[in-house]
Amino acid sequence: MAAGGTTAAKQHGHPKERVYVIVAVWLALITGVEITISYIKMPDPVKIVALVFLSAIKFAVVVGYFMHLKFDNPALRKPFITGIILAGCVYTIVLLAFTLHSNVPK
């Protein structure tokens, strides 16, 4: 216990274990939806967009809660978010370059 009868977790605003269990259950439900979508007959572009969207939600929740980024100082959060955006842009550019290169008629 810290001075004043509060624990370090309360001082930093971290949630209790119950919140982590609820978040884990939601992540499991989203994973179930992703598995269901993978078996449903639908156009591939729609399926891909839905799965990427759900994966992005899961990524944000895992990073925010389980990696404690939600509770960290914004000065630590901004470089992480900038790096993720930069990595996504580089990945998209490389993917498009390979896609365009492979579709060139010979």
The tens-digit pLDDT sequence of the chain (106 residues) is: 444 444 444 556 778 889 889 999 999 999 999 999 999 999 998 999 999 999 989 988 888 888 877 777 888 888 888 988 999 899 999 988 888 877 666 6
Please report the pLDDT score of residue 8 as a whole number.
46
Note if the pTM is more than 0.85.
no
DSSP annotation of 14 reads: P
How many angstroms separate the Cα of 95 from the Cα of each of 30, 102, 105? 26, 11, 18
What ranges in 40-73 are assigned the alpha helix state H? 44-61
CB 100 within 8 Å of CB 41: no
Provide the residue ranges of all domains of the chain, joining segments of one domain with +: 1-72, 73-106
Residue 12 has a pLDDT of: 60
